[in-house]
A and B are shown apart, each in its own frame.
Chain A
């Protein structure tokens, strides 16, 4: 009995040792597996983060300024990023060192002390100095960006759900504009000139941002905010409303198009040319009649005459909540529609235009949307039922909250034949 009593603990201990070894081995395997399991996602996130900096198709990249103001912002942000990066590395290294060095190994809790004035003062003074160092050039740049005394061209920009309207007042600037121009979706400016945007809103707060040309500016109802634009070279620059403004905020896009001086003059002259009625008894004239019947309640085409021989004046204030709809007088001179959310050009033509070198860009843009380049599918889909392409509050049965006013374009219930004729009419608006 005593023998068995003497051997049992030994066996038991050996078993325990073996178990411990097995457990230890299992634990190491488990740790290794766990590490491998984490390694892949971490590596993927790191690779994605790093490689995203190499993206070529990034038209809203703030790190590629294309104008004086954007460059000032870029120059301001570069070196604070460097400093912030160094601070980040120091902090991460200090945290990592502390976590590793003082990890819990069952040791006694070190002696606790309260505060260290010299360290606290250093940690207050150093960030204060860094912030002062950043603050001085920041304030200086803010004043630079707000400067309007050297304005060469003025454009009024008005946001509404969910598109931007541009009106060019009659002025000596911009190379001379005799009569006001109204357009939408694409802001056209003369390259190299200091263009002052006077930004406002008709309904809610929006925010105007063409990253390659300048920072953001909120469009606030009842307020006029200024933002200076200047593009170094002819080209096209993408932007996005950056203040959440409702259902189709994501579709409220904009593009700034910069043309050389002569090209801009041509663009202005084209916008101001008198209305040319379509040839009688053609699908174009039938499209015009359809346009007057279905579209001119909200959309203005300058110079279009009604059956009474008088110019048809749209009254969007009676039908749509912001009180306006895009002016379609020269629709085909711009390459987007519906708040620059959709292209009037096919993908191939769009790619060609966006990649056109600055020297040839003006001529390429002034061609407008040619019949070969028209993305007729997009336009037809829009006319067939706009709300399927862009979310809008345009259901006639749900207008109680807007006093019977639409937010966006409703489904007009057009037939395919009517769509054909309207498309024909619209393709001539250039």
Chain B
């Protein structure tokens, strides 16, 4: 009465229904889960009904013509690796749930991939009685998906391996290795392009050797670990003259940022207890800097002296009315302290002209007698 195919779907329908009942009775807020499981049950019942209706699409045993050409009449297809891989994924899933999220996700991906591949392979092997046609059909469906994914995975492995190599090597050796590898790739590419009748197997062998070499070196480098990367530490400032010291007050890696070195409004240098300004386009050390009003001006402070110092930008004060009370507002900002040879970045936006203040606007270093550069804001 029940065909083989319909038995599978009937069984699955019963399991889905039972799961829905268990889920609904044991879980709170289970609406979504119940909807999903009941929907699955209905879909499986529908498929079971179709299978029963068409009798699993089996041909009649007495139809000789169909029996001779049907896929089922051809030889049994060869074995498949996908059940084994799917089993591996299924086995890894509970392991991942215990050990960690990465294994869980990997097992789910393996399970999905193996299931899809297995299904398509099974379908294609029964698509017709012509094995060559079946293979072609499978390739036509799966290759547009398989090849880009495999290519991306392969490139990802090579790039990741290469990055491990670059992290392991010293900085200079890394640059040399990078140049050498890219030159070798270019050389082989040029040779293959120039010699058109070169064998496919030779190209594949060379590429495989290169890939294995990079992956092998990458694994070795990853095990050996990264080289020591120098960190630019900035000492904390003790003389708190510009508000509360906070980590986010300014860019503590200013000395490493390209943007903090080029086309600045001024570079302020503390050397031998004296402060001077270097201004782009103006030759020689300056004791005065002109900054445009209401414009963000980028200033770099370099401390060449032994003591940690900070640069303070003092752009005067303004009396403002706060709820009927005159309050003096100060336009002062500063860098963090900078150790010897260090640099800090300061962004200022003077909103008042310097002639609005009785005292001159300055860039100064507290605690240093000669540490003043006058600022003119026209």
Given contacts A169-B376, A180-B378, A182-B378, contact A324 B294 (CB under 8 A): yes
Residues of B within 8 A of A313 (CB): 352-353, 356
Give complex CA distance A323, B292 in Å. 10
Q: Does A418 contact B (CB under 8 A)?
A: no
Please state if B281 and A198 are interface contacts (CB–CB under 8 Å). yes
| Contact code string A317-358 (vs B, CB < 8 Å = 1, else 0) | 100001110000000000000000000000000000000000
Give the A interface residue count (CB, 8 A): 35
Listed from nearest, the 8 A-B pairs whose CB atoms lie closest are A323-B294, A180-B378, A169-B290, A223-B263, A317-B351, A226-B281, A167-B378, A313-B356
Chain B at the A interface: SS class = loop
Total inter-chain residue pairs, C-beta < 8 Å: 80
Residue-wise interface mask of A (191-216) relative to B, using a CB-CB cutoff of 8 A (1 in contact, 0 not):
00000101011100000000000000
Cβ contact within 8 Å between A202 and B282: no
Chain B residues contacting A196 (CB-CB under 8 Å) are 281
Are A224 and B280 in contact, CB atoms less than 8 angstroms apart? yes
Closest Cβ–Cβ distance, residue A324 to chain B (whole Å)? 5
The B-contacting residues of A in range 267-325, CB under 8 angstroms, are: 300, 302, 311, 313, 315-317, 322-324
Distance in Å: Cβ of A325 to nearest Cβ of chain B: 10
Nearest CB of chain B from residue A197's CB, rounded to whole Å: 8
Chain A positions within 8 Å of B, measured between CB atoms, are 148-149, 151, 154, 156, 158, 165, 167, 169-170, 180-182, 196, 198, 200-202, 220-226, 300, 302, 311, 313, 315-317, 322-324
0 or 1 for each of B263-274: is its CB under 8 Å from A? (1 = yes): 111000000000
**What is the distance, in angstroms, from A236's C-beta to the closest C-beta of chain B?**
24
Q: Does B250 contact A (CB under 8 A)?
A: no
Distance, CA A323 to CA B291, complexed state (A): 14
Which of A180, A202, A323 meets B376, CB within 8 Å? A180
Say yes or no: is B296 at the interface (Cβ < 8 Å to chain A): yes
8 A-B residue pairings within 8 Å (CB atoms): A148-B281, A156-B292, A180-B290, A181-B378, A221-B296, A222-B297, A323-B293, A323-B294
Q: Which residue on B lies nearest to A325, using beta carbons?
A: B294
Taking the closest CB of chain A, its distance from the CB of B240, in whole angstroms, is 28
Q: B: which residues have CB within 8 A of A?
A: 262-265, 280-283, 288, 290, 292-298, 347, 349, 351-353, 355-356, 376, 378
Residue of B nearest to A114 (CB): B196
Give the complex CA separation of A165 and B293 in angstroms. Answer: 11
Which residues does chain B contribute within 8 Å of A302, judged by CB atoms?
355
The answer to whether A323 touches B295, judged by C-beta atoms less than 8 angstroms apart, is yes
A168 and chain B: residue at smallest CB distance: B378
A221 CA to B378 CA, complexed, in Å: 18
Taking the nearest CB of chain A, how far is it from the CB of B260, in angstroms?
10
Between A151, A169, A302, the greatest number of chain B beta carbons within 10 A of the residue's beta carbon is seen for A169
Docked pose: A322 CA to B352 CA in angstroms = 14
A167 touches B280 (CB 8 A): no
